[in-house]
Structure formats: C-alpha cells, structure tokens
A and B are shown apart, each in its own frame.
Chain A
Amino acid sequence: MLAINYISEALASIGRSTMALFSAIGRLCIFAASAISHMFRAPFYPRELAAQLLKIGYFSLPVVGLTTLFTGGALALQIYAGGARFNAESVVPSIVAIGMVRELGPVLAGLMVAGRVGASIAAEIGTMKVTEQIDALTTLSTHPMKYLVVPRILAATIAMPLLVLIGNIIGVLGGFLVGVYRLDFNAAAYINNTVDFLEVGDVTSGLIKAAVFGFIVALMGTFSGFHSGRGAQGVGQATTNAVVAASVMILASNYILTELLFPS
C-alpha cells in the first residue's frame, strides 16, 4: 500500500514537472513570436539598439578574444601531439583553422556571451519587472517588447557573428603563435597552409551559428527577466535560468545546425 503511494506520488511529480516544462516552452514560443513580430512594426528605438550593440558586442570582445586565443593555442598543441602518432604534424595549421572557425569559435563565444550578456540582460530586465519599471513603461505609452526586448535580440544577433569573426582570427593567431614559437613551424608556411585549406563555407557556417546563438542568448535573457519572480530571489533565479537554458540550447542547436550545414 505504502509502495503504491510512493510510486503514484513520484509519477504525479514527474507529470507535474513535465507539464510545467511544456507550458514554459509554450510561453517561450509565444514570447519569441511576439518579439519577432515587433521587430517589424514601428516605433523603432535605434538609440537603444546602438547602446545594446556597444554593450553586447564591443564589451564582450576581451572575453571572447582571450577564450579563443588560449583555445587556439591548446588546439595546436593537441593536434600536433595527435598528428605525430601517424607522422601528420603538418595538418596542424589547417585543422586548427577549421576546428576554430566551424566549431570552437562560435560555440565558445556563444557560451561566454551567454554567461556575460545573458545573465546581465536577465538581471536588468528582472529588476525592472520587480521594481515596476516595466509597468511604468507601459503607462508612458512605450511598449516594453519594442523598447527592451527587440533592441537586445537584434543587437545580440548582429553582434555575435562579428564577435565570432574576430574571435576566429584571434584563435587562429593563438594556434599560429604556438605553432611557430613552440612547435617550430615556419611562419610563412603556417599561414599559407591555413589560407589554402580554409574554405568560405567553413567561415560562413560558423557565422550563421553565431547569429543563432546570439538570438538564443538575448531571447533567454529577456524571457527569463520578463518572467522573473518577485524580489531579489526571483531575479537571481531568473539570471541562473537564463544562463543555463541558453547554454544548453546553444549546444543542442549547434549539433542540429552542424547536421544541417554539413549534411554527410
């Protein structure tokens, strides 16, 4: 009798959390659709967009640059060690470049930006919600979706590919520095090898990924902020949710995008 109670209790709780998950997904889809539809309807707030581009794009440069620089370096060491097992050390430049541009650049930048920007968007909007600033916007004839959400999503979607482009260059540079100064590659040969093997599709696929990741980060930040609970605790929870959800969604969508962009 007791066992049955426990089992039914456990099943009920699984059911409850499943329902909660589906209702959250439903709300997220409605939120995303509404955000996209507001992108195309006036009024627009170009000043807000510019401010967010600066905040999301420009100020993320150091984080993304450092991440890709060290990763590019480590990648060169690993590929050299792996390549040495079948006398293929010469693949280092091209594999570093391809790995960076197609995969590590966008994913690492996405995750770093999720931590930096996603969290700050969620905390800012969550605080605005908790302190009634979002209600105040409405009473001042300003649509919160247009004024707060659209500029952030647009800015992140535009800024991420640019960030990743710069991150890619720095990452390849990291590989180059390690290759030339640690692994004794010839500098000119390293550059030639990189340029010869890299295709345009490698770069553009990474930038498409970056745009999608930027959209995800800002969407999850704004969505969590708008649905923040009350008080400081609510805002803290919203921030955590934004970062965790955006990170998982970046990794999952990265797999899907890779399948779609490089059908085997």
Chain B
Amino acid sequence: MSTDPKITLKGVQKSFGSNHVLRGVDLRVDKGSSLVVIGGSGTGKSVLLKCILGIVQPDAGEILIDGATLKNREEFLSHFGMLFQGGALFDSLPVWHNVAFRLRQGKAKLSKADAQELAIEKLRRVGLKPETAFQFPAELSGGMQKRVGLARAIASEPSVIFFDEPTTGLDPIMAGVINELIREIVVDLGATAITITHDMSSVRAIADNVAMLHAGKVRWHGKVGEIDASGDAYVDQFINGRADGPIESVR
C-alpha cells in the first residue's frame, strides 16, 4: 500500500460563536486507507468532516488534498461520497432516485430504467429489498434511511468516502453487514475512507488507523491494533465505555 497522504489537516480550528469546537486538529489519512475517528458526542467530529469538504469554512489551519490546498472543489466532489449522520435523504424523491441522484445528472446521465436497476443493486448491497426502491424516505425506519444514505454514498464508486456514524440505529447483525461492506469498499475499490463511529466493534472491523478527538484536538492517533495498548487514559476510558476516568461525563 502506498503511503502518500490523501488528506492532511494542519492546525484546523473552528468556532461557532463562543463554542470553540476544533482547536487545532492535525490529521493525516493515507491514500487507500481507512481512518476511524472516535470521540464523545459533540466533540466536533461531524464538523471536522464538513471542514474537509468546505461546507463549513474553518477559521484557521490548512487542509490539503493530495498534498495541495483544494483549488477545484467540484473536481474533488465528483469522486466523492458521503453518508450524513442523519441520512439527509431528499424526501421529495423516491428511494431509487436518491440512490442514483448523481448518476441522473450531467452529460453521462443514466436512463430512468438503468438508474433504477443500479439503485436496486446498491440497495441489495446494504441489505434492502428491491421494493424499497419505490418507496419514499419518509416511509422508511431510521435504520433503513441510514442504509439508503449509505447506498447513495457508494453509488458512483467514489475514491474518497466519508461515513458519519454508519451503524448508529442498526441492529447488531445489520451493523455487521455494513461494517463488512465498508471494509470491502476500501479494499476492493482502493478508496480512502474516514468513518465516524462510537461503536467499538465497527472500529475494529473497519479501521486501519484510529484517531480520537477530544477537547478540539486529536488526542491519540495510531494503528487499530495498538488501540488496546495505547497507554492513554482517555482512549482507555472511551474504548471500555467507563463512566469514570479523565473524560467528564457532563459535556
């Protein structure tokens, strides 16, 4: 595996008013590797992903893609997919159109029949039946919406892909299916992935590397195999889910 960095963050800061969410994040994601970001809820993990995309403008710091600041965001986004924490499905469109949304745009646009066929295939990969394709997002359960969001994120076989809490709200069996799928996408497609999760079984299934975000900074960064012997009290508390430790339970 090559070790060129695909995404590099240097001292990224972001505040919302007096809420200093990111206080200088340094991070590096190698090309074709899978990074999992862990950290308590509200520590700014979702904000971090949005900063990389330029949806949220960081206050300070540098974000490099392939070693340079992003000049052509549209070019980058054309090989990109993202699963949003809340699914973010378009509720005016049926499920199949959500999944194939990108492929129904632009010059090389798919026909309706081809788009539906492709959507059904992607839905199958996330464990959803073909009938689901013709329902509307509001008719689905939260976990099903999440999986449709996942199908949409992978539909155009992106080379960079972000998953914001892919298994939250899924039963353990379905979570296992999704973990495997994410791993497959990284290995088979050679995609670079950043996944946010709170689920330690996901971390172990998906990650090459793990970064823990705490108090607006990367508290610990290392290989997934080293996480149990990190020697960091914060990481230990998080991965073992203990109520007492250095991380305050009121945040």
Contact = CB atoms under 8 A, between A and B. Distances in A.
Given A138-B53, A141-B78, 17 more contacts: A43-B106, A128-B90, A131-B88, A132-B85, A132-B86, A133-B88, A133-B90, A135-B88, A136-B90, A138-B55, A139-B80, A139-B82, A140-B101, A141-B77, A141-B105, A142-B101, A142-B102
* Residue of B77, B88, B152 with most chain A CB atoms under a 10 A cut-off: B88
B216 interface: no
Given A141-B74, A141-B77, A141-B78, A136 B84 contact: yes
Given A135-B50, A135-B55, A141 B86 contact: no
Contact of B86 (A43, A131, A140, A142): A131
Interface in A127-180: 128, 131-133, 135-142
Interface of A: 43, 128, 131-133, 135-142
B193 interface: no
Interface string B140-152: 0000000000001
Contacts of A132: 84-86, 88
B124 to A, nearest CB: 21
B39 interface: no
Interface in B100-117: 101-102, 105-106
Contacts, number: 47
By Cβ-Cβ distance, the 3 closest A-B pairs, closest first, are: A136-B88, A132-B88, A139-B82
* Residue of A43, A131, A137 with most chain B CB atoms under a 10 A cut-off: A131
Contacts of B152: 140
A38 B199 CA distance: 43
B105 A136 contact: no
Given A43-B105, A43-B106, A138 B77 contact: yes
A135 B84 contact: yes
B82 A136 contact: yes
A91 B85 CA distance: 66
B81 interface: yes
Contacts of B85: 132
A128 B88 CA distance: 8
A127 to B, nearest CB: 8
Contacts of A128: 90
Contacts of A136: 82, 84, 88-90
Contacts of B55: 135, 138-139
A131 B89 CA distance: 9
A141 B90 CA distance: 14
Given A138-B77, A139-B81, A141-B78, A133 B89 contact: yes
A123 to B, nearest CB: 12
Nearest to A133: B88
Contacts of B53: 135, 138-139
8 contacts: A43-B105, A132-B85, A133-B89, A135-B53, A135-B55, A138-B77, A140-B152, A141-B106
